[in-house]
């Protein structure tokens, strides 16, 4: 059995048949996972100024850029093992750099609150064994974590839910569009207007207090009734909800307080984003957006967006992440104007604009380690095939030495 690193569910029931150091067959992984486990189709090669070179020269050039930089930034590490993340934080400390990851414009705000115990939460195994009411909110689990419903949340039979989804569980979707997850929730899909989550929460809280909710009275009272009766509920908070209420996150806290039988679970995409947030939280007390300067300083201006916009960073090391494909245009031109060092197993949009590229092994396939599942459980990753590539952990170490 090996672990899939296709998403933060980290399915550890995958069987592989390896022949001549290649994966021949993968059992139990979903399509997304199987694609990830096949490795890269387009492998990154070491380059300096877009010209192929050897890995040693790449590392030396990267170190030189960082030495010459006044405000270096490290970004990514969401697709790296926890061990590499620890080394990455160490590296950022050593260079007095800014450190941030995808979670700063994604689920970071929610994970921070979960880690600070502002929400009740539980494990995915608890959900399988006990949960009777599941709310997928702003989350299309069926597409983003394809085995979420089948492995843990809706379909399986669990200790207290022997009759599985047919009788023992109810799935509810709240979303701006009828996603594949919403289709499965059939009669219990609540469509909301874009950015309408806050209003919806407030109306739902009213309904839970027995007041007449401000809108959609009938459906809201019906939903409140279902939630109140739940014995063990879970709200799977997707990025749709997090984005929409990020400026007033306390409304979700207020809702959670009104639902004592419910647990809040962040839905995470990148396989070890929660690991990054947890490691950072342990080391610095913050989950992202940090600048090291003898101590760790946390500020919104150290987010990737602000660091680029405000020109706070003058060189950037990107590890296992592809900001070029996810950041908005104006920020991108700023990114393209500073030296970019890209560490990744595969060719990405970011590697294409990078000054230096350093290929690394595919973690969970060519290198072992640990990662944190979206519910906080630590899962082991195995090395399945041999490769000549350095791991991102080793590259971090080499950079620490070289600067």
CA distances from 370 to 8, 84, 336 (A): 12, 10, 33
Under the criterion CB under 6 A, does residue 11 sit at the interface with ligand SF4?
yes
Tokens 């995915």: give the residue: 124
Closer residue to another protein (CB): 42 or 150: 150
How many residues of this chain bind ligand SF4 (CB under 6 A)? 13
Binds another protein (CB under 8 A): choice among 49, 54, 143, 231: 143
Is 190 within 8 Å of 177 (Cβ atoms)?
A: no
Under the criterion CB under 8 A, does residue 44 sit at the interface with another protein?
no
Tokens 């060189």: give the residue: 315
Residue 9: name its binding partner from ligand SF4, another protein, none (Cβ under 5 to 8 Å by kind): ligand SF4
Binds ligand SF4 (CB under 6 A): choice among 81, 85, 145, 350: 145
How many residues of this chain bind another protein (CB under 8 A)? 34
Under the criterion CB under 6 A, does residue 267 sit at the interface with ligand SF4?
no
Under the criterion CB under 8 A, does residue 34 sit at the interface with another protein?
yes
Under the criterion CB under 6 A, does residue 303 sit at the interface with ligand SF4?
no
Identify which range of 147-155, 193-201, 284-292, 327-335 contacts another protein by CB under 8 A.
147-155
Is 224 within 8 Å of 207 (Cβ atoms)?
A: yes
CB atoms within 10 A of CB 318: 25
**Phi/psi zone of residue 300: left (φ > 0), alpha (ψ -120 to 50 degrees), beta?**
alpha
Residue 10: name its binding partner from ligand SF4, another protein, none (Cβ under 5 to 8 Å by kind): ligand SF4
Under the criterion CB under 8 A, does residue 149 sit at the interface with another protein?
yes
Give residues 182-241 in contact with another protein (rule: CB under 8 A): 183-184
Binds ligand SF4 (CB under 6 A): choice among 147, 274, 289, 398: 147
Residue 157: name its binding partner from another protein, ligand SF4, none (Cβ under 5 to 8 Å by kind): another protein
Binds ligand SF4 (CB under 6 A): choice among 9, 185, 356, 390: 9
Is 308 within 8 Å of 302 (Cβ atoms)?
A: no
What is the per-residue DSSP string for 320-388? S--HHHHS-HHHHHHHHTS-EEEEESB--HHHHH-SEEEE---BTTTB-EEEE-TTS-EEEE---S--S
Under the criterion CB under 6 A, does residue 266 sit at the interface with ligand SF4?
no
Class of residue 231 by CB neighbours under 10 A (exposed 0-12, middle 13-18, buried 19+): exposed
Closest CA to 355 of 45, 47, 115: 47
Under the criterion CB under 6 A, does residue 30 sit at the interface with ligand SF4?
yes
Which tokens in the block code for residue 364?
A: 């969970």
Give residues 31-50 in contact with ligand SF4 (rule: CB under 6 A): 32-33
CA–CA separation, 271 and 99 (whole Å): 19
Residues forming contacts to another protein in the complex (CB under 8 A) are: 1, 13-15, 25-35, 128, 142-143, 146-147, 149-152, 155-158, 164-165, 180-181, 183-184
């Amino acid at each position: 059995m090996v672990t899939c690193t296709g998403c933060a569910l980290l399915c550890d029931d995958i069987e592989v048949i390896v022949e001549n150091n290649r994966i021949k067959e993968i059992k139990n992984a979903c399509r997304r996972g199987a694609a990830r486990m096949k490795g890269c189709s387009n492998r990154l090669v070491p380059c300096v100024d877009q010209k192929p070179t050897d890995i040693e020269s790449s590392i030396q050039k990267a170190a030189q850029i960082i030495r010459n930089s006044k405000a270096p930034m490290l970004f990514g590490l969401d697709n790296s093992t926890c061990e590499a993340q620890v080394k990455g934080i160490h590296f950022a400390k050593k260079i007095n750099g800014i450190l941030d990851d995808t979670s700063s414009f994604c689920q970071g705000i929610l994970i921070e609150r979960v880690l600070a115990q502002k929400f009740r939460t539980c494990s995915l195994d608890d959900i399988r064994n006990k949960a009777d009411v599941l709310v997928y909110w702003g989350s299309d689990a069926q597409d983003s974590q394809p085995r979420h419903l089948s492995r843990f949340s809706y379909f399986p039979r669990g200790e207290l839910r022997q009759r599985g989804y047919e009788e023992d569980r109810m799935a509810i979707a709240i979303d701006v569009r009828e996603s594949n997850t919403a289709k499965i929730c059939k009669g219990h899909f609540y469509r909301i207007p874009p950015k309408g989550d806050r209003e919806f929460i407030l109306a739902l809280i009213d309904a839970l207090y027995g007041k007449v909710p401000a809108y959609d009275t009938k459906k809201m009272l019906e939903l409140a009734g279902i939630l109140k009766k739940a014995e063990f509920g879970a709200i799977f908070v997707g990025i749709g909800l997090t984005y929409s209420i990020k400026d007033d996150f306390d409304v979700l806290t207020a809702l959670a307080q009104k639902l004592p039988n419910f647990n809040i679970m962040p839905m995470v995409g990148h396989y070890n984003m929660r690991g990054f947030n947890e490691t950072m939280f342990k080391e610095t007390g913050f989950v992202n957006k940090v600048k090291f300067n003898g101590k760790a300083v946390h500020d919104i201006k150290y987010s990737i967006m602000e660091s680029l916009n405000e020109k706070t960073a003058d060189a950037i090391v990107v590890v296992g992440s592809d900001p070029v494909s996810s950041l908005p245009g104006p920020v991108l031109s700023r990114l393209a104007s500073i030296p970019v060092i890209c560490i990744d197993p595969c060719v990405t949009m970011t590697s294409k604009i990078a000054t230096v590229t350093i290929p690394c092994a595919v973690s969970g396939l060519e290198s072992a380690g640990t990662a944190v599942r979206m519910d906080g459980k630590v899962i082991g990753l195995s090395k399945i095939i041999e490769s000549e590539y350095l791991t991102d952990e080793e590259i971090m170490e080499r950079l620490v030495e070289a600067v």
